[in-house]
Amino acid sequence: MINFDETKIVENGKFIYQQREKIEGIADRIFDKKFDLLLFTSSGGSQAMLDPFAFYIRHMSKLQTENILSADLMLGACNRIGTGTVAFMTSKSGDTAETVAAARWLKEKGVYLVSVIGKENSLLEEISDDAIVYGEGRPQELVFYLMIGRILYRNGDFDSYPKFADELKGLAYALAQVRKQADEKCRQYALEYHKEPYNIWIGSGDLWPTAYSYSMCVLEESQWIRTKSVSSPEFFHGTLELLEEDVCTTLLLTEGVTREQDERVKAFAMQHTKKLTCFDCKDYELPGISDEFRYLLSPVVMAAVLQRISKNIEEITGHSLEIRRYYRKENY
Amino acid sequence: MINFDETKIVENGKFIYQQREKIEGIADRIFDKKFDLLLFTSSGGSQAMLDPFAFYIRHMSKLQTENILSADLMLGACNRIGTGTVAFMTSKSGDTAETVAAARWLKEKGVYLVSVIGKENSLLEEISDDAIVYGEGRPQELVFYLMIGRILYRNGDFDSYPKFADELKGLAYALAQVRKQADEKCRQYALEYHKEPYNIWIGSGDLWPTAYSYSMCVLEESQWIRTKSVSSPEFFHGTLELLEEDVCTTLLLTEGVTREQDERVKAFAMQHTKKLTCFDCKDYELPGISDEFRYLLSPVVMAAVLQRISKNIEEITGHSLEIRRYYRKENY
């Protein structure tokens, strides 16, 4: 199994989980000081990582939430933002110009700002009211499962949170097992389809951001593979007409509340293309995680699965995931 | 100029505008009875038609709004929905199963439901608290400019609304002039690019829904042309890497508040593909419409422009816009 280090994966999980008390402390402070809006803002793949948490809030509670790209935010995309807003941002470097500009803009509006950052002592950390530094820690979603889970719990929307949070101690280990279960299928997939001229990616609900960002931020950005992503319900409003027996179609099935949308796509696509691949979260065992919590974990399960495509495809294409034509190489 | 009837276009505008008093009456009733959420819900191209109005509300006021696909709504995508919600739906036939199901679901939640429908005496009209029937009337957006404009005016967010609404009397005429100005460029575009294997479509803000839905609901659905749509800010988080000198790229430039995002894409794309086409709302005269209101009209201006691609491309490809492989031909 190429480029896989289980010990490191488990270590990276521990690095985040050991900050549980600090993370829950931030959640409690947010809850106790009151708020009228929980805002998730970032860009590209980082925004896609945050989006499922706005999704869970919208489904599980009556708390108000918005998820808005930082670029749009600063152009007035949410006029309601103010002193009652709590904003969550995430950034690997903590000094991306766009992200820092958005953070400053939010602070000028009197927003309470919580950041989740890869590096210590960044500009973003300095600007933020609270920050969690994850360093090499993975998956970053773990920070948000703990922080947002705790807020929902305090609000009476997630009574089983303490059990969930305890089980998350083993999340990184469970996701390492997912990678091992997924690798063979993912390697076959990469071998078979890395030269396809057009790739339709489909997902719904809490996995729509994954379908969107994996196709764009990995396949397009780092492999220069052409894609089209579309959500499962929207697939039936146009993209379905493109299906022919040789059109490469990849469907991600969530275990969340929108699963029936994915199953509808699967039933249709099976009849109209021979190049359909379904990656289904349900297919993977998650040792140490109770069934009752699986519906919340599709984004991290699928990220673990898809990582195995990435690791294999770069070896197969001989095109490292780090090569770029333009991104951060040109000014634009 | 193929398939163009100015008299009919102007008539279709009148059909909606003559209902101005009724539309504003609905807006006043909504405003007077109070609400805590304005919800726009539909599917596919209809949702994309509604989305800009949620965008304008978010930008111009502190009123709370959500725009959510009906398919997601019924799976719990907005737990806050209740007796304080006013929902706006639109449907051509008024009896699409999905739409009617969502309407019933909303009424069970105690939502006040306003529908904009193509046909008289539909199921949707029966379920709704208020309905506007537009028949052959076009553009349907006119109903929402009047209804949402009036609500924003009553809320103190749009003082110049009365002047805007008066000028909208000539909107259909102005859009007929746009079609004439755009036709030659659109015909050339269709001639040159109708056989492209991959088409990137880009837009931002109030034109993002247009980029999304034109590429999917027209090019994919009715011409079986492969596309990828991406918003202008997100283009820089992945899709940019696909640009090469022969990659067909189409950029829609809004006159709205996000215009700078489009200009950034334009500057980049001009350097990296020879097949860049920019459709810019700014290029079209709108006789009878004051400059101060143009920033609100990009969706209808661009729809008029793109309609000229549609009318030309079906003649060029010999593939009628009405032909489908699967949509409403198969059960799924």
The widest CA-to-CA distance across chain B, in whole angstroms, is: 57
Kindly indicate the confidence band of residue A96, based on its pLDDT and cuts at 50, 70 and 90. Answer: confident
Burial (Cβ within 10 Å: 0-12, 13-18, ≥19) of residue B106: buried
Task: Look at residue A331 in the predicted model and tell me its pLDDT.
Answer: 86
Contacts of A304 (CB under 8 A, 6+ apart): A175, A176, A178, A179, A182
- Residues A199 and B98: their CA atoms lie apart, in Å, by 28
Give the nearest partner residue to A258 out of B75, B197, B205, using CB atoms.
B75
Do the Cβ atoms of A71 and B233 come within 8 Å? yes
According to DSSP, the β-strands at A112-117 and B276-280 are unpaired
Q: Residue B280: phi, psi to the nearest 5? A: -120, 120
Q: How many CB atoms lie within 10 A of CB B322?
A: 7
Name A132's bridge partners. Answer: A116
Mean pLDDT per 10-residue interval, chain B, length 332 residues: 96 97 98 97 94 98 96 95 97 88 97 96 97 95 98 98 98 98 98 98 98 98 98 97 98 98 98 98 98 98 98 96 90 86
Give the nearest partner residue to B44 out of A224, A238, A260, using CB atoms.
A238
Do the Cβ atoms of A71 and B216 come within 8 Å? no
A312-329 burial, b if ≥16 CB within 10 A, otherwise e? bbbebeeeeeeeeebbee
Contact A27, A151 (CB under 8 A): yes
Predicted ipTM? 0.97
CA distances from B284 to A208, A210, B206, B218, B300 (A): 36, 38, 17, 22, 12
Query: Which DSSP helix (H) or strand (E) runs through B114?
Result: strand B112-117
Do the Cβ atoms of B238 and A224 come within 8 Å? no
- Residues A269 and A314: their CA atoms lie apart, in Å, by 28
**A contacts of B243 (beta carbons < 8 Å):** 325-326
Task: Look at residue B104 in the predicted model and tell me its pLDDT.
Answer: 97
Rounded to a whole number of angstroms, the distance from the CA of B174 to the nearest CA of chain A is 28
Secondary structure of residue B116 in the 3-state scheme = strand
Do the Cβ atoms of A80 and B72 come within 8 Å? no
Contacts of B318 (CB under 8 A, 6+ apart): none
- Residues A165-187 have pLDDT tens digits of 999 999 999 999 999 999 999 99
Name A79's bridge partners. Answer: none
A264-276 burial, b if ≥16 CB within 10 A, otherwise e? bbbebbeebbebb
**B contacts of A197 (beta carbons < 8 Å):** 197-198
Do the Cβ atoms of B228 and A227 come within 8 Å? yes
B186-211 burial, b if ≥16 CB within 10 A, otherwise e? bbebbeebbebebbbbbbbbbbbbbb
Nearest-CA residue of chain B relative to A45? B237
B76: left (phi over 0), alpha (psi -120 to 50) or beta: left
Residue A26 corresponds to which tokens in the numbers above?
């931030």
Do the Cβ atoms of A221 and B237 come within 8 Å? yes
Query: Which residue is listed with tokens 């022919």?
Result: A244
If you ran DSSP here, which 8-state letter would residue B295 be given? Answer: G
Nearest-CA residue of chain B relative to A236? B327
Contact B323, B222 (CB under 8 A): yes
Rounded to a whole number of angstroms, the distance from the CA of B212 to the nearest CA of chain A is 10
- Residues A316 and A289: their CA atoms lie apart, in Å, by 33
Task: Look at residue A328 in the predicted model and tell me its pLDDT.
Answer: 81
- Residues A6-47 have pLDDT tens digits of 999 999 999 999 999 999 999 999 999 999 999 999 999 999
Contact B105, B79 (CB under 8 A): no
Rounded to a whole number of angstroms, the distance from the CA of A331 to the nearest CA of chain B is 9
Task: Look at residue B280 in the predicted model and tell me its pLDDT.
Answer: 98
Q: Which of B85, B220, B232, B320 to mutate to test the interface with A (most CBs of A within 10 A)?
A: B220
Mean pLDDT of the A254-271 span: 98
- Residues A152-168 have pLDDT tens digits of 999 999 999 999 999 99
